[in-house]
Structure 1
Amino acid sequence: MKFTQSLLAVSVLGLTAFTAQAAQYPDLPVGIKSGAGALIGDTVYVGLGSGGDKFYSLNLKEKDAQWQELAAFPGGTRNQPVAAGIDGKLYVFGGFQNNDVADNQVINDAYSYDPATNTWTKLDTRSPRAAVGASGVTDHGKVYFVGGINQEIWNGLFQDVKKASSGLDKEADKDKIAAATKPIFDAYFNLRAQDFFFSSEIVSYEPATNTWRNEGYFPYSGRAGASVGINNDKLLVVNGEIKAGLRTDGTAQGTITKDGVKDWKKLGDLPAPKGYDAQDGIAGGMGGYTNGHFIVTGGANFPGARANYAKGINDAHRTGGLKKTYHSDFYALDAQHGTWKIIGNYPKNIAYGVALPYENKLLFVGGETDGGAALTEVRTVSFDGKKLVVEE
């Protein structure tokens, strides 16, 4: 998106002003949602997800730079992998893909990409916990993984679905497939949150030593799709999915030590978004640190699911036909008091994109919006404690 002049729209929300500014970077060549991305120096790398096996790079310092297509990712198409940039290389972990076993199978391999040679290498390692649904963040040469789905339960679900629909045509026999697989999905969605066995372990990977490490346990239930950030050895975890279709509004913070992540404490819950009586929690939010302040926006949920679950309805989001809803409210953490406030809105509802801290700003790349449409846009966002600036 390109504008020839800056756009300015200021509104006061408490002590917070919102400012829109002109776009800085070109759009992606294709819409990318449920992909992954990372920074290496001044170059951002984004790919996979709805981008197939493609990865692209953009030099953020080069004037009039355009996205460059890299060598194709050799692991095939992947949704929801984790990516990280460490010591000049890009690392990609896990994800799920359709393969000969069944659709949507969790993969636990790892690859590195060397920008100097435009080549990928499959690493001689595998993640000890599913990287799908995990949120990754780097610190001191390590990638920290928070949460993640249970590989055995997830893969088994879709293997059972494939078996039940064997011999049926996906297009011609839709009704028969729905009837054959309904008992399988019903049993899955009726599990309690704790019976999904989402990972509560904090796992790290250090490329320099090719070593995985258990960094301790997250005490507030396993989750998928949380927003995470690290600042001054503090690991912040915001919301996420605690079972299929059900989110938490909780946030927590732990301290990174040489012996793992410890001294976890619960922070305030996210407030209800504008127009809603309650906060259902968000998964796939876009967040990170800017000028020392953690902010998060977007994400998706099923409004009413938490209330259903509190009533003992385990299949909380399908009951009553709750609609998947995307959001745009920006939340900022008051680090001193551990509380949150709404500071403005993103220009559109957004989730499942790439958010990366860069030069005291956050770089938002791709994502999806209402109806699941993949986005190509690239924007910067910043917050200094008083003013929220969002690129238009």
Structure 2
Amino acid sequence: MTKPARPQDQPLIVTQLPDLPGQCVDGGGARMAQTIYAGLGSAGQRWYCLDLSSPGHAWQRCADFPGPAPSCAVVVAAGEAIYVFGGCGKSSPAACTAQFDTGYRYLPASDRWEQLRTVLPVGLTGASALALDASTLLFFGGYQREQFDHFHHALESAPQAQRAEITARYMRRPIAQFGWNTDVWSLNLLTMTWCSVGTQPHHGHCKATLLRDGLDFYLLGGEVKPGLRASTIKQGRLGVGGIGNGGGVQWHAPHAVPVNDGFAGCFAGRIGQWPVVAGGTHFPGSWQRYAQGEYFAHEGLRKRWLANIYVLVERQWCHLDSLPQPRANGISVEVGDGLVLIGGDSDEGRPCLDTLWLRQRLSTR
């Protein structure tokens, strides 16, 4: 299918949807039919829904998540359910922060949660996922579990005066020593069996946003070590034979990131037929420092929140527009011909409660 005229000729319109009842940073969400679901992260165990087909719609409280509240969990819809995997948090008020190796399923039809009979094969905090169909999920990236747990236990158990040095020792290491997941993991939801189906190119990542465009998909931004954003955008294509039939994932040459020092925690999806990416955070100057051997590359640098919106045109990410304010670490869901942005935070980590629907203003020419 031929795509319409260049999107720069069709500027965006922003519609305000109902505000979230509370903050939701590093949470997750998905759409089922005309209802959006969102929560977790800084929302704790709270889980909300917004029925766009209901007149005078507003966010409603659903059944709370039954496990310890996860941040940066993988949330993905498949079939008639929404799945939540991994993430990190405290298993009890007295516990140290650690990664979770559990999976849960939310059933919208009955507003209830079920814990899955599975244990994650690797740490999936900050990972990305897509549903191949109603019974198969693919996972990309994720923080190395043992390192993550050991660091947080050491940090949170130490006296306050020692924590800066513990953090510095941890951060002053090159990318390869963090061991983030580069395997592509497949999960069969019928048998709850995991299988590695290959590896992704370049470094493992966390907090990359996955954008699917038919058989193609993009892993947009993310970190390759704490504080250092990916310098490329990965593009993959799903094999038409299916993962179980030798189709696998074919990786294409990566795209250039349209922002110096990259971005993580961005929003992404399709507006009309065009793939777009918006917002995110980065540390200006971090890659220059890393190239000079300063592996704690973001030490002392100020984190910056971004407002730029980019659109993919002929393998180039071109500036399209800007968000009303800088924004990152939220949830993006495709609805109709637009993209809905939920939760997240803005400059200096201030939570965003507004819900925005980005669409194209169709040309009348």
The verdict on a shared fold, with TM-score over 0.5 as the criterion, is: yes
Partner secondary structure for residue 127 of structure 1: coil
Superposed displacement of residue 14, structure 1: 9.5
Partner secondary structure for residue 223 of structure 1: coil
Call closer, same or farther: CA 1:138–1:64 in 2, change over 3 Å: same
CA distance, structure 2, for counterparts of residue 124 and residue 14 of structure 1: 45
Q: 1:367 aligns with which of 317, 320, 344?
A: 344
- Map residues 96-245 of structure 1 onto 2, 5 A cutoff: 96-99=88-91, 102-141=95-134, 142-165=136-159, 177=160, 179-245=161-227
CA distance, structure 1, for counterparts of residue 352 and residue 33 of structure 2: 24
State yes or no: 1:31 paired with 2:23.
yes
Superposed displacement of residue 271, structure 1: 2.4
What's the CA shift string for 1:362-384, capped at 9, x where partnerless? Answer: 11111111111111111111358
Name the counterpart of 1:9. none
**One-letter code of the match for 1:28?**
L
Partner secondary structure for residue 20 of structure 2: coil
- Map residues 233-382 of structure 1 onto 2, 5 A cutoff: 233-257=215-239, 258=242, 259=246, 261-272=248-259, 279-318=260-299, 321-334=300-313, 337-382=314-359
Comparing 232-241 and 260-269, the one that deviates more: 260-269
What's the CA shift string for 1:243-272, capped at 9, x where partnerless? Answer: 010012311212212235433122331223
Which structure 1 segments of 5+ residues have no match?
1-12, 166-176, 273-278, 388-392
Partner secondary structure for residue 205 of structure 2: coil
Q: Is residue 12–residue 358 contact of structure 2 (8 Å, CA) maintained in 1? A: no
What's the CA shift string for 1:112-140, capped at 9, x where partnerless? Answer: 11222222111101221222111222232
CA distance, structure 1, for counterparts of residue 284 and residue 272 of structure 2: 32
CA distance, structure 1, for counterparts of residue 8 and residue 40 of structure 2: 40
**One-letter code of the match for 1:349?**
P
**One-letter code of the match for 1:311?**
Q
Superposed displacement of residue 190, structure 1: 0.4
Call closer, same or farther: CA 1:261–1:357 in 2, change over 3 Å: farther
CA distance, structure 2, for counterparts of residue 225 and residue 21 of structure 1: 25
**One-letter code of the match for 1:151?**
R
**One-letter code of the match for 1:126?**
V
Superposed displacement of residue 21, structure 1: 4.2
Call closer, same or farther: CA 1:263–1:356 in 2, change over 3 Å: same
Partner secondary structure for residue 166 of structure 2: helix
CA distance, structure 2, for counterparts of residue 63 and residue 379 of structure 1: 18
Superposed displacement of residue 76, structure 1: 2.3
CA distance, structure 1, for counterparts of residue 185 and residue 146 of structure 2: 18
CA distance, structure 1, for counterparts of residue 84 and residue 345 of structure 2: 21
**One-letter code of the match for 2:122?**
R
Partner secondary structure for residue 79 of structure 1: coil
Q: Is residue 325–residue 346 contact of structure 2 (8 Å, CA) maintained in 1? A: yes
Q: Is residue 139–residue 230 contact of structure 1 (8 Å, CA) maintained in 2? A: no
Q: Is residue 15–residue 357 contact of structure 2 (8 Å, CA) maintained in 1? A: no
Instruction: Please report the TM-score for the alignment, with normalisation by the length of structure 2.
Output: 0.91
Call closer, same or farther: CA 1:322–1:260 in 2, change over 3 Å: farther
Q: Is residue 36–residue 82 contact of structure 1 (8 Å, CA) maintained in 2? A: yes
Call closer, same or farther: CA 1:270–1:162 in 2, change over 3 Å: closer
What's the CA shift string for 1:306-359, capped at 9, x where partnerless? Answer: 1100111111100xx10011000011112xx32111111111100011001121
Q: 1:91 aligns with which of 69, 79, 83?
A: 83
Q: Is residue 307–residue 322 contact of structure 2 (8 Å, CA) maintained in 1? A: yes
Comparing 190-199 and 224-233, the one that deviates more: 224-233
Partner secondary structure for residue 125 of structure 1: coil
Q: Is residue 112–residue 123 contact of structure 1 (8 Å, CA) maintained in 2? A: yes
Partner secondary structure for residue 380 of structure 1: strand
Q: Is residue 68–residue 91 contact of structure 2 (8 Å, CA) maintained in 1? A: no
Q: Is residue 40–residue 86 contact of structure 1 (8 Å, CA) maintained in 2? A: no
Call closer, same or farther: CA 1:293–1:191 in 2, change over 3 Å: same
Q: Is residue 91–residue 110 contact of structure 1 (8 Å, CA) maintained in 2? A: yes
Call closer, same or farther: CA 1:311–1:233 in 2, change over 3 Å: same
Alignment length (residue pairs): 351
CA distance, structure 2, for counterparts of residue 346 and residue 16 of structure 1: 18
CA distance, structure 1, for counterparts of residue 137 and residue 353 of structure 2: 27
Q: Is residue 311–residue 317 contact of structure 2 (8 Å, CA) maintained in 1? A: yes
Q: Is residue 254–residue 261 contact of structure 1 (8 Å, CA) maintained in 2? A: no
Partner secondary structure for residue 326 of structure 2: coil
Which structure 2 segments of 5+ residues have no match?
1-5
CA distance, structure 2, for counterparts of residue 371 and residue 38 of structure 1: 26
Instruction: Please report the TM-score for the alignment, with normalisation by the length of structure 1.
Output: 0.85
Superposed displacement of residue 102, structure 1: 4.1
Superposed displacement of residue 237, structure 1: 1.4
CA distance, structure 2, for counterparts of residue 71 and residue 227 of structure 1: 26
Superposed displacement of residue 182, structure 1: 2.8
